Structure 1
């Protein structure tokens, strides 16, 4: 067997060779934490767990350094995207995005670095994200291991957010919190940017999506979650989850993009959530003419700036 034989090839994202080698084609570059020269946002990396290896990048806005100890800021726990198999919390894409969002919204942020598939197939990312939330919750009385959370973060004003696969995680963590509780954390809302949801039955205009593209999405999910029942797994298709009404927050903001293959899933999510018996308020905003995660590729475009402003007001 040649060591160039490919077992899995997800165009432009990841390749796995038959000898077990994994080649990530995107999302491998990293940048260190910093103090942002323009907006003064500070960041640092923390280790949450050695075994399994879970870390996070923390962000505080410039105002945190000068505010009185009594003034605590809302806390955003952010989960990066990348189809559960690429990207990290130290990727320049996410580092730049969180720097600007933390400055705009004046919040403390914890950007979770969870383990990636296929080396660590799902549910590893969910397990790591929940472990990170339990670590965050350990700071509720101001006596946790991380000074920034003790000093600056209001654990009665917590939000989860993420884009694409990270939005999927944010939803699933909010659902787990609603079902199981998380002592010390009051989850106010979740922000789902271009959420990575799917299903076997097309919704909206999904029938117009080429069959090959629909199969790619279904296959990538099976690749990252090999024990899954498929595209109607409640983790991937929230409409199939009998517990959906137990979502553990008061409000949800769903951001969709007009030309995104996942757009109709975002709208569908808001519809099934309203019918689930959940008592909160859900809002959907759509960016016209934009593709999947356009705001990460072109953060200064008009639609990205407008979306960031909307998210900032939601977090306050």
Structure 2
């Protein structure tokens, strides 16, 4: 197969790519009025120079009992594609916001190869610190000091979670580690939700070989995406791609909060996700793992039953201590 044709990209001489399928952002409720929405959404600039933003979702009506958890969400796309405003990620965040309920802060991070790793990780920690600053602003006087009114009204900053799917799951792990180096008070990250994490390596796993011609993540296309995302000159055993090769050297892993790790048997990357969950457990992390025999990579974006099953796991995880 031609992986570039499969991915619908064309490489350029300067190292960038032309994406032959344009990224179309779904409008927020703030940008386009909707009749009786259950969830409201808006975009807020994160870093003007980097052209990054966060898309915030909150319940349309006030929560009478208490404030709700905050989920900082990182979308998938192999570090190369999509946006916080891409339709399937937008709809997924809408569903989570309404069902949990929660405030969702979905991060539109920079994409590779124009911005190779660790750019996405840098943007992720910037978003976490932005939420921390919102929490500080609320404590120090609220709206007049720059706090976002939606977060001020709805967010329980003591119950924050990082979540991501595919490359977003990879980012969730990296951002969770980086966040340990910061004083996030009064914000607290209570857990990580890592769905079908996008990891790789030079040595082929059984699931990669078994599903080499997978319809979602065929191996040749997967290799190309990693070649576009990793730092120039790095191979797939770089820690950004293969966290297991460096896990013994990272002391902070054992300090991570509890982790929900989810995967599916029809995903070529499932063996790496299972190895990752075992690595976390071996370092003393409280891991809740689910590996269904059925399903495929990104199945929750295509099959409503799988989407609901994942949502049920997230609700249970967020509600547990």
Q: TM-score band, normalised by the shorter chain? A: 0.7 to 0.9
Q: Deviations for 1:239-294, whole angstroms, at most 9, x for unmatched residues? A: 12321653554211111011111111111111111122x3x311221233211001
Residue 66 of structure 1 and its aligned partner are, at CA, apart by 4.3
| Residues matched between the structures, number | 302
- For 1:14 and 1:263, how far apart are their aligned partners in 2? 26
Residue matched to 2:55: 57
Q: Deviations for 1:170-198, whole angstroms, at most 9, x for unmatched residues? A: 11000111244434321111111110011
Residue 215 of structure 1 and its aligned partner are, at CA, apart by 5.0
Farther-moved stretch of structure 1 (106-115 vs 287-296): 287-296
- For 1:270 and 1:131, how far apart are their aligned partners in 2? 26
Residue matched to 1:251: 258
Output aligned runs, 1:1-316, within 5 Å: 9=4, 11-18=6-13, 22-26=17-21, 28-34=23-29, 40-63=38-61, 65-67=62-64, 71-141=66-136, 142=138, 143=142, 144-203=146-205, 205-210=207-212, 213-214=218-219, 216-227=221-232, 229-241=234-246, 242-243=249-250, 245-246=252-253, 248-276=255-283, 278=284, 280-298=285-303, 300=304, 302-316=305-319
- For 2:174 and 2:8, how far apart are their aligned partners in 1? 24
> In structure 2, do the counterparts of structure 1 residues 204 and 283 end up closer, same or farther at CA, with 3 Å as the change threshold?
farther
Unaligned runs of 5+ in 2: none
- For 1:50 and 1:247, how far apart are their aligned partners in 2? 35
> In structure 2, do the counterparts of structure 1 residues 247 and 61 end up closer, same or farther at CA, with 3 Å as the change threshold?
farther
- Asked whether the equivalents of residues 175 and 244 of structure 1 are also in contact (C-alpha less than 8 Å), the reply is no
- Asked whether the equivalents of residues 207 and 269 of structure 2 are also in contact (C-alpha less than 8 Å), the reply is no
Q: Deviations for 1:134-192, whole angstroms, at most 9, x for unmatched residues? A: 11110223134311112211121110001100111011000111244434321111111
- Asked whether the equivalents of residues 30 and 92 of structure 1 are also in contact (C-alpha less than 8 Å), the reply is yes
Unaligned runs of 5+ in 1: 1-7
- Asked whether the equivalents of residues 16 and 114 of structure 2 are also in contact (C-alpha less than 8 Å), the reply is no
- Asked whether the equivalents of residues 105 and 313 of structure 1 are also in contact (C-alpha less than 8 Å), the reply is no
- For 2:193 and 2:110, how far apart are their aligned partners in 1? 22
- Asked whether the equivalents of residues 7 and 221 of structure 2 are also in contact (C-alpha less than 8 Å), the reply is no
Secondary structure, counterpart of 2:187 in structure 1: coil
Residue 313 of structure 1 and its aligned partner are, at CA, apart by 1.9
**TM-score, scaled relative to structure 1:** 0.86
Farther-moved stretch of structure 1 (286-295 vs 187-196): 286-295
- For 2:191 and 2:206, how far apart are their aligned partners in 1? 26
C-alpha RMSD of matched pairs (Å): 2.5
Residue 232 of structure 1 and its aligned partner are, at CA, apart by 1.7
Residue 95 of structure 1 and its aligned partner are, at CA, apart by 0.9
